[in-house]
C-alpha cells in the first residue's frame, strides 16, 4: 500500500510506462510454471497499475484469459495487448459504466469464471480537511463500486466462479491522513458480509492487503503532507520494516483463486496479506 520510498526519497527501481507498454513487466519465473488457472476467464477491475496489473500478468502466465478494466485506458491497452486480452475504460464510480463493461468483457471472453476488484481511491488529508465530495467519492469507488460490480457480474458468472475483492490491512487500525479511505474500506467489508449472507453460493474472497511496494497509491499526493503523515505513522509504529513485493501479492491472490476453484466446497472468506521481513 504505502511505498515509503516515495515519501523518504530513497532510490528504488521504477518500471516506466514505455516498459509496461512494451510488455517488459513480466511475470516471475515461478508463476510461468503454474497452469492452475488454465482456461479461466478473468475480469480484472483496477488493472492499469499496482496489484491489479501484477495480478493480470500472473493470471495470464498461469493460463487464464483476461479482460482488464481501469480509468487510464492509454496505460491499459498496451498491457492487454501484451497479454492477448481485452481492455475497457472504466470509472467504477459510474454504475452504468460498470454494467456495460461487465457485459462487454463477458461477451469477449465467452463468460466469466473469476472477477477481481482491485480499484481504490485513497485521498490523503487530515480528517478535518476532508470535504464532503471526497468522502462521497471514496465510498462510491471503494464500497459502492465493488458492490455494483458484483451485482452486474451475477448474470454472467459460471458455475464455481470466484470473486476476489481487495480490501485494506488497515481497517480497524486508524492511521492519520486516510480517514475517508479507511472508512470506505470498512464499509466495503460490511457490504461483503451482506453479499455472503444473501448469496452463500458465491465463492467470495475478501483480501486485506498490507503495505506493498511498486503501487501507485501515492500518485498525485502532496509531498509535504505525506512527509508530515509519515512522521506521524512512524511515531505510532505504523511503518513496516519491509513491504510486500507486488509480484508476491499478485501470485498469492492467483493461488487463492486457484484454490477456491479447485476446492468448491471451501472458500477462504477473509484473508490477510501482511509483509514478512526477509533476512
Instruction: Kindly list the catalytic residues.
Output: 181
CA pseudo-torsion sign 230, 231, 235, 236: negative
What is the distance of C-alpha 47 from the center of its chain? 8
Q: How many of the other CB atoms lie within 10 Å of CB of 278? A: 7
The candidate with the shortest Cα–Cα distance to 148, out of 104, 198, 98, 102, is 98
Strand, helix or coil at 7? helix
The SS3 assignment for 208 reads: strand
Q: Longest Cα pair distance anywhere in the chain, in angstroms?
A: 51
- Residues in the chain, total: 279
C-alpha cell at 187: 464499509
What is 71-87 written as a DSSP string? S-HHHHHHHHHHTT-EE
Q: Report which of 43, 54, 48 is spatially closest to residue 117, judged by C-alpha positions.
A: 43
Helix (H) or strand (E) holding 168: strand 157-168
Amino acid at each position: 500500500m504505502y511505498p515509503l520510498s516515495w515519501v523518504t526519497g530513497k532510490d528504488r527501481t521504477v518500471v516506466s510506462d514505455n516498459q509496461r507498454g512494451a510488455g517488459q513487466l513480466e511475470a516471475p519465473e515461478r508463476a510461468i510454471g503454474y497452469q492452475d488457472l488454465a482456461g479461466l476467464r478473468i475480469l480484472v477491475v483496477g488493472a492499469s497499475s499496482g496489484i491489479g496489473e501484477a495480478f493480470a500478468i500472473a493470471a495470464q502466465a498461469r493460463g487464464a484469459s483476461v479482460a482488464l478494466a481501469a480509468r487510464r485506458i492509454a496505460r491499459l491497452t498496451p498491457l492487454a495487448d501484451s497479454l492477448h486480452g481485452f481492455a475497457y475504460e472504466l470509472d467504477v464510480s459510474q454504475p452504468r459504466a460498470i454494467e456495460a463493461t461487465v457485459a462487454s468483457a463477458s461477451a469477449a471472453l465467452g463468460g466469466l469464471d473469476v472477477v477481481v476488484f482491485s480499484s481504490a481511491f485513497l485521498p490523503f488529508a487530515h480528517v478535518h480537511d476532508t470535504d464532503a465530495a471526497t468522502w462521497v467519492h471514496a465510498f462510491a469507488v471503494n464500497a459502492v463500486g465493488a458492490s455494483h460490480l458484483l451485482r452486474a457480474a451475477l448474470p454472467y458468472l459460471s458455475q464455481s466462479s470466484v470473486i476476489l475483492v481487495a480490501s485494506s490491512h488497515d481497517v480497524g487500525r486508524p492511521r492519520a491522513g486516510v480517514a475517508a479511505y479507511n472508512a470506505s474500506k470498512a464499509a466495503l467489508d460490511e457490504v461483503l458480509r451482506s453479499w455472503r449472507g444473501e448469496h452463500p453460493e458465491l465463492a467470495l474472497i475478501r483480501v486485506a492487503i498490507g503495505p506493498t511496494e511498486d503501487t501507485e497509491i501515492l500518485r498525485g499526493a502532496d509531498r509535504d503532507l505525506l512527509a508530515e503523515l509519515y512522521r506521524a505513522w512512524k511515531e505510532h509504529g505504523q511503518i513496516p520494516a519491509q513491504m510486500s513485493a507486488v509480484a508476491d501479492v499478485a501470485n498469492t491472490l492467483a493461488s487463492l483463486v486457484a484454490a477456491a476453484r479447485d476446492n468448491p466446497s471451501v472458500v477462504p472468506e477473509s484473508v490477510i496479506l501482511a509483509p514478512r521481513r526477509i533476512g
